[in-house]
Amino acid sequence: MRLTLAFLSLAAVLSEARRCAAQQKPNNLVTASTSGALSALKYTNVGATGSYNEVTDIIPGTFPTCDANPFCVTQPKQISGNLAPFDDEMTVAFRGPLTLYNISVYQPTNSSSATWKQVSSWAAGAEPSNLVFMNNMGGQESGEWSICAGSSQSYASGDWTAAVSSANAQVATGVLDETHEINIMTATPCSSDAPCTGFSRGTANHGWAGSKFFVMTFDMPASSDATKVPAIWALNAQIVRAAQYGCNCRGVGPGGCGEVDLLETLAADGANPNQAISEIYSPKGATGSGVNFFARPTTGKVTYGVIFDVQTDSIAIQRYTDWDYTTTQITRSVVDGYLNAPAMTISFEDSSNAKRANMPRSVMGAHKRRRWH
């Protein structure tokens, strides 16, 4: 038995050595900085074993009062394994002031993850491919509204300030003002033929499940109102399909279904609005960049990549010098090159490793953070 265990251990070491040897070193990373003003951050040991409170129903109530108690119906959903619950379908959300220039999403073509294919893409002023811009203005042009749950998701207008009747009915300019938010989903609606996990209502689309690699080029210009600051964050898609700021599975610790603040500037007392922090929330608890930060790009556009990788149980956030958005596929060796590049590394073994931001946290943060417990 000892010989067998030793052999298996050696085989695992050799397999990892071969994987590392095969990786391709990226040539588009900015100069590495792993503390203070960051160039990259990586969360490891992400996967949780436990449960979160999945929404199974929302009782709409009878206008003019929400007469259903409770109106938010949930039940525990068990999870385990690498990246859980971030292997669920995810969406990426944005709050202005922010200008988006390009978005590309890559995912493995099969279980071996040898090749990652571009599955969604968009450039400012152009029609997107398998990508829909949405907001939380349901109830008139698209989506729905109820007295208990408020507005559902809706299809966003081209200037991202209103709802329209169909997906991408207007070409998006890429400019998001400081009073609005949007999020991106795939072009596949939830339906009986393609059901979505958890409860959904109104206008509801699928997100990106399993491993996924988002690349985005954007800037975050100065705010005219100091209380309105930009943010980019990733959410379990179930949150927006139920009610992003109402009845949902959002939360810290047991009950929460997963959120990563990728670059979040804060308007709280003591916060520097030119510094963007990162934090992660799951059934494990919460941890993050602490006093370290990404510089807010107020004077020029930047490109970031965000990798959610099941195989290595990690999430990487990195700044690039550039990205070729015509790239339709990348190899696993390229992905490994990014995942193994220098970065501030935070192990999410448990919440005792937390490195929360050393500043006040408000329920009205950069993106109006609200959680239901």
The parts of the chain modelled with pLDDT lower than 70 are 1-22, 350-373
d(CA 96, CA 232): 9
Pull the structure tokens for residue 134.
């949405």
pTM for the structure as a whole:
0.90
Are the C-beta atoms of residues 32 and 341 closer than 8 Å to each other?
yes
Pull the structure tokens for residue 363.
């329920």
Are the C-beta atoms of residues 23 and 340 closer than 8 Å to each other?
yes
- Cα–Cα–Cα angle for 155, 160, 161, nearest 5°? 100
d(CA 207, CA 193): 16
Are the C-beta atoms of residues 154 and 137 closer than 8 Å to each other?
yes
Placement of tokens 């699928």 in the chain: 206
Pull the structure tokens for residue 345.
């590394």
pLDDT at residue 15, as a whole number: 53
CB within 8 A of 323, min separation 6: which ones?
A: 28, 102, 104, 215, 217, 303, 305
d(CA 268, CA 275): 12
CA 364 to chain centre: 19
pLDDT at residue 289, as a whole number: 95
Beta strands in 19-108 (DSSP E): 40-44, 50-58, 72-79, 90-95, 98-108
Cis omega (within 30 of 0) for bond into 70: yes
Are the C-beta atoms of residues 331 and 112 closer than 8 Å to each other?
no
Pull the structure tokens for residue 69.
């108690």
